[in-house]
Amino acid sequence: MARRAHIPGWQALPGVEVAAVCAPDLAAAQSSADAFGIPHVFSDYHALLELELDAVSICAPNSVHVPASLTAIESGKHVLCEKPMAVTAGQVKMLGEKAEAAGLLLMAQHQLRFAAEARAAYALVKTEKLGSVYHAQVRALRRATVPTSVGFIDKALAGGGPALDIGVHSLDIALWLMDFPRPVRVTGTAKTNFAHGDKITGDWGEWARSRFSVEDFAAGFVHFENGSTLALECSWLGHYPERDDLSCRLFGLGGSLHWPTGEFSTTAGKAHSTGTLPLEATDEPAHFAAIRAFYEAIQSGRPSPIPWKETYWTIAIIEALYESAAEGKEVFLRDV
Ligand SMILES: NC(=O)c1ccc[n+]([C@@H]2O[C@H](COP(=O)([O-])OP(=O)(O)OC[C@H]3O[C@@H](n4cnc5c(N)ncnc54)[C@H](O)[C@@H]3O)[C@@H](O)[C@H]2O)c1
């Protein structure tokens, strides 16, 4: 993500210098520095954070997100952290409160919010044509794509499987479009159905099966304080017709809306109609747009484009889904 999205995303902003890069393997960090013309190279982020920098992007395995974000905040840097910001809602709260107290911005990289499809869906929601949303169907299903890097499949490094890896993206979009109703209770299941066998071959190549210690399928059901509900399904492996399906469908009293296709369906009397939302034309990749929004918020003194309290609820739902799966019971969420 550093090489594909964050470094070029920051470098696309006029007036921004990417001053330093860090990876435990110094040669790997040096190769990124050479490729992108970055002057300072480190193998330890503590040393990098001694530099006078305005902001950092954290693109390391999930287990590094909280300690690196915390150290960055404590050394006075704004933090753009790859998703998931943390594995527990308590960790998100701790980081959010520290950042707020220090007057720093903290944002999870949910770049899909900044893509044209999400913007169009958000604009429709604001017109109230959808009406009050009573249910959301949220999917993050991949048929045969297990990440090959152990950072995603070893529980000690990743914290969780597809729910935490890609479920967070669709869930973030659905909750944002629903205006973040307060979740109150969650049931869930998390299973490893295929990852230790050879029934489904990974499109991205072979993964270290002996290190695979997360789920390859998770599903959950959420009840919100306002009476609405949400069903979430996440997977890296399964017998699905589509190669992948990162989506949500919101059911409202005025119509239903599908992201990212923008399909809006409504029925008045006996007449049913379906249309597709128009999209703004843009050449800017979503990752770049998210980084630009974060940068502009820093420059103008505005709050984080994705407030940590929103990320708190996204992570709280996934944490509760895992807890429910492990303990076989419904989990009630505590307030932030
Ligand atoms: N927003 C998105 O769409 C998206 C997509 C893919 C991955 N991600 C997230 O980005 C993060 C990284 O994923 P990736 O695909 O780049 O993984 P990757 O395994 O390709 O790269 C991880 C990098 O982190 C570095 N690293 C490991 N420990 C470190 C430490 N202590 N300090 C500094 N660097 C360290 C490694 O050297 C490696 O270069 C993950 O949290 C993942 O969930 C987000």
H or E element in which residue 219 lies: strand 217-224
Structurally, at CATH architecture level, domain 113-286+313-332 sits in 2-Layer Sandwich (3.30)
- Whole-angstrom distance, CA of residue 243 vs CA of residue 25: 34
Q: Which residues pair with 263 in a beta bridge?
A: 276
**Structural domain boundaries in the chain:** 2-110, 113-286+313-332
* Ligand 1 centroid to residue 83 C-alpha, Å: 10
Q: Ligand 1 centroid to 318 CA: how many Å?
A: 20
296-316 residues labelled b (16+ CB within 10 A) or e (exposed): ebbeeeeebbbbbebbbbbbb
> Residue 20 pairs with which residues in a beta bridge?
40
129 CA distance to ligand 1 middle (Å): 39
The two most distant CA atoms of the chain are separated, in Å, by 66
Residue where the block lists tokens 């489904």: 200
DSSP letter assigned to residue 317: H
Interior CA angle at 136 toward 131 and 137, to 5°? 140
User: Which CATH number does the domain 2-110 belong to among 3.40.50.720, 3.30.465.10, 3.40.50.1860, 2.40.50.140?
Assistant: 3.40.50.720
What global pTM score does this model have? 0.97
How many Cα atoms are found within 13 Å in the side-chain-facing hemisphere of 26?
7
d(CA 178, CA 176): 5
Contact in structure between 124 and 257 (CB atoms under 8 Å) = yes
Distance (Å, rounded) from C-alpha 218 to C-alpha 165? 11
Helix 116-127 and helix 168-177, axial crossing angle in degrees, nearest 10: 30
Pocket, ligand 1, Cβ cutoff 6 A:
1, 22-25, 28, 45, 59-62, 64, 82-83, 109, 111, 149, 151, 165
Task: Determine whether 186 is exposed, middle or buried from the number of CB atoms within 10 Å of its CB (0-12, 13-18, 19+).
Answer: buried
**Residue to probe by mutation, ligand 1, list 4, 36, 82, most atoms within 8 Å of CB:** 82
Question: What is the residue-level pLDDT of the chain in tens, covering all 336 positions?
Answer: 999 999 999 999 999 999 999 999 999 999 999 999 999 999 999 999 999 999 999 999 999 999 999 999 999 999 999 999 999 999 999 999 999 999 999 999 999 999 999 999 999 999 989 999 999 999 999 999 999 999 999 999 999 999 999 999 999 999 999 999 999 999 999 999 999 999 999 999 999 999 999 999 999 999 999 999 999 999 999 999 999 999 999 999 999 999 999 999 999 889 999 999 999 999 999 999 999 999 999 999 999 999 999 999 999 999 999 999 999 999 999 876
DSSP string, 74-97: HTT-EEEEESPS-SSHHHHHHHHH
